């Protein structure tokens, strides 16, 4: 990878790459095959600083930016996208949200455990009737004295059954669709909280996706993030980081698939010719590599903008849209290069193929990204080009 990195960034990349290959890869194979959540790996990731990348040192983190996080996520996802999504939600959503909107008390309470990897984070927006349309959410939070009482359910929550801190979005005002939403940090020990359905998925089998059930669940008012009614704003602001994280995941998966395709086609001969020496393969490799690089650059740019404090919603959406599409075309072509064996579980490409699919679905479907991008483009046009 030729993108100019600083000495620190190269060192970070080497550490995460070595760790991913030596420690994560063997764990990932078994965990994905058997559908086990690889609990132990997150403590190791925490020891190395990967669970508190953007958290300031005073809260036990390493105080690096989104760009460093992207470099890390790329390498982790190239080896295990399940671990990647758990890490991405934890770092880009939970940590970020608590740091940005939590009171000092809340930060002190959660961030050190989250940054060390002892505690995992989850982030709960989606409901059965509120997917892309966040404002349709129904989970209610009613203030009673020093507490909020939550009732309802959240669906498809990554790491929901493993997390010690879940950022939950709930409706505090039924009348106002957007300003009636608030965000809370919920601990699984809260009375009235339970885990509902555990999803069986096509891919990401070493991560968990669950339903969260709230039945008169009592949450301290201290755990409110920002102020009452700020939920929608927080959710939207968090999405940029979340999308950059998923874009990085898609780049990691795509790069791994490209590598697998090249590796396999170099070793396999048919008609006395290596697969890699057929022109059809060469053209595929060129197109795949170019797309991966373009996806990477879009992702890096969005991360750099975010680190500079610039608006980056459009760029994050573009990165996610393009990188997730790229991941899916690249895993498709790389599997084709494998021929029939690519369809067996013997080869990594089979897992990459399944894991890539979700990148076009979560953190906003590709359709949602297109809505965000087109709206930004049209707004910009209207602002800058006179009629």
With contacts defined by CB under 8 A, name the span among 59-67, 78-86, 243-251, 371-379 that binds other proteins. 59-67
Distance between CA atoms of residues 230 and 226, nearest Å: 6
Q: Do 217 and 149 contact (CB within 8 A), yes or no? A: yes
User: Residue 236, interface with other proteins (CB under 8 A)?
Assistant: no
Q: How many CB atoms within 10 Å of residue 35? A: 13
User: Residue 267, interface with other proteins (CB under 8 A)?
Assistant: yes
3-state DSSP call for residue 13? helix
Euclidean distance between the first and final Cα of the chain, in Å? 44
With contacts defined by CB under 8 A, name the span among 45-53, 140-148, 292-300, 373-381 that binds other proteins. 45-53
**Nearest residue (CB) to other proteins, 176 versus 277:** 277
Of the listed 363, 367, 380, 382, which one is catalytic?
Answer: 363
x-or-dash string of contact with other proteins, 320-359, rule CB under 8 A:
--------------------------xx------------
Residue 227, classified by CB atoms within 10 Å of its CB into exposed (0-12), middle (13-18) or buried (19+), is exposed
Q: Segment 63-92, which members bind other proteins (CB under 8 A)? A: 63-64, 68
- Tell me, what DSSP letter sits at residue 22? I
Distance between CA atoms of residues 102 and 124, nearest Å: 16
Distance between CA atoms of residues 246 and 316, nearest Å: 10
Least distance from C-beta 278 to other proteins, angstroms?
Answer: 17
- For the chain, counts of helices (H) and of strands (E): 12, 10
User: Residue 268, interface with other proteins (CB under 8 A)?
Assistant: yes
**Nearest residue (CB) to other proteins, 50 versus 101:** 50
Return the residue matching tokens 């036990």. Answer: 60
Instruction: Clarify whether 310 is annotated catalytic.
Output: no
With contacts defined by CB under 8 A, name the span among 189-197, 259-267, 308-316, 369-377 that binds other proteins. 259-267
User: Which positions touch other proteins (CB under 8 A)?
Assistant: 7-8, 10-12, 14-15, 18-19, 29, 47-50, 53, 57, 62-64, 68, 263-264, 267-268, 346-347
Catalytic residues, by residue number, are 363
């Amino acid at each position: 990878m030729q993108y100019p990195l600083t000495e620190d960034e190269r060192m970070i990349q080497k550490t995460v790459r070595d760790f991913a290959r030596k420690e994560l890869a063997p764990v990932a194979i078994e965990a994905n095959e058997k559908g086990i959540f690889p609990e132990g790996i997150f403590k190791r990731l925490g020891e190395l600083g990967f669970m508190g990348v953007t958290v300031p040192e005073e809260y036990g983190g390493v105080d690096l930016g989104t760009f460093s996080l992207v470099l890390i996520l790329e390498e982790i996802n190239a080896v295990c996208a399940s671990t990647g999504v758990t890490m991405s939600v934890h770092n880009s959503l939970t940590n970020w949200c608590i740091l940005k909107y939590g009171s000092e008390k809340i930060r002190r309470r959660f961030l050190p455990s989250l940054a060390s990897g002892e505690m995992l984070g989850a982030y709960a927006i989606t409901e059965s009737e509120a997917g892309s349309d966040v404002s349709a959410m129904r989970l209610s939070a009613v203030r009673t004295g020093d507490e909020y009482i939550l009732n309802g359910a959240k669906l498809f929550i990554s790491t929901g059954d493993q997390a010690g801190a879940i950022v939950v979005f709930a409706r505090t005002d039924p009348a106002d669709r957007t300003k009636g939403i608030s965000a809370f940090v919920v601990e699984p020990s809260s009375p009235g909280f339970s885990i509902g359905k555990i999803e069986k998925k096509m891919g990401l089998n070493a991560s968990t996706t669950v339903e969260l059930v709230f039945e008169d669940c009592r949450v301290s008012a201290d755990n409110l993030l920002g102020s009452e009614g700020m939920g929608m704003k927080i959710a939207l602001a968090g999405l940029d980081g979340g999308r950059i994280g998923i874009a990085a995941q898609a780049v990691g998966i795509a790069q791994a698939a490209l590598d697998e395709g090249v590796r396999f086609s170099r070793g396999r001969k048919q008609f006395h010719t290596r697969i890699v020496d057929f022109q059809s393969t060469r053209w595929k490799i060129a197109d795949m590599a170019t797309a991966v690089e373009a996806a990477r650059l879009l992702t890096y740019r969005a991360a750099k903008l975010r680190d500079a404090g610039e608006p980056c919603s459009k760029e994050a959406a573009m990165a996610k849209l393009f990188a997730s599409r790229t991941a899916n075309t690249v895993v498709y072509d790389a599997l084709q290069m494998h021929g029939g064996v690519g369809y067996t579980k013997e080869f990594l490409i089979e897992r990459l193929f399944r894991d890539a699919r979700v990148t076009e679905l979560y953190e906003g479907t590709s359709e949602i990204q297109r809505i965000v991008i087109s709206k930004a483009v049209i707004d910009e046009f209207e602002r800058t080009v006179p009629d």
